[in-house]
Amino acid sequence: MLSALAVENAKPRAKQYLLTDGNGLHLMVTPQGSKLWRLRYRFGGKQNIVSLGSFPAVSLADARGKRDEAQRLIAQGINPSDQKRQDRLVAEVAGRNTFGAIAEEHLQKLEEGGAAEATLSKNRWLLLDLASPLSKRPVAEITPAEILVLLQKYEKAGCARLRGGYAGSSAKYSAWQSQRFVHRPTRHMHLGMHLRLRSLRTARLSRMNASSALL
């Protein structure tokens, strides 16, 4: 079995070579100095090799953990190479379904549909400026609580557009229609925004009534 020190001290040679750890796991050291973890295994009666990442990004302990996970998959009748491809596709889809990506898509549809510049400006403000902290978040993972935090932040700053009630109507964009939300976002988003807007209006009316009583 390999040691962490042996992996660290492995030097490049004229030709690539392997350092084996056991149960099919080995480290391939290239002439250029790269250290690549690979796992050799049998599935369906055939020899297979799957890459597990490179050192030092993937440590010896990490590589062993990936080897053990691959062996669990094999025991369940799942080819680790197929699972890796599937996981990569899922990650790519998730990357395309971030709030920011869908917001840009929605804005493009509005522009192609001939929306007025005022409408485009308001939507850009809501989806790109107000919601910028959510831009890299997968839409399926965004919670109502996160949206309320944003609303509270801008509420405290006295944001005129938010007080004007624009947020609730503009939040109903096309992510739900394209079926990329796990939970329907318009209900959560609209509810959260409605509650914040209502509280703003209530507070404003209370201040107006208090001022009138003093006159």
**CATH number of the domain located at residue range(s) 4-95 in this protein:** 3.30.160.390
Are 181 and 175 within 8 A, CB to CB? Answer: yes
Closest alpha carbon to 39 in 11, 62, 64, 61: 64
Q: How many Å apart are CA 167 and CA 87, to the nearest integer?
A: 36
Q: Which of 80, 184, 170, 69 is nearest to 127 (CA)?
A: 170
Please state the pTM of the whole predicted model.
0.52
Reading the chain (215 residues) residue by residue, the pLDDT tens digits are: 899 999 999 999 999 999 999 899 999 999 999 999 999 999 988 999 999 999 999 999 999 999 999 999 999 999 999 999 888 887 776 666 788 888 888 888 888 888 888 888 887 887 777 778 888 887 777 777 877 777 777 666 555 555 444 444 344 444 444 444 444 444 444 444 444 444 445 545 555 555 454 44
Each domain of the chain, given as residue ranges in start order, spans 4-95, 99-214
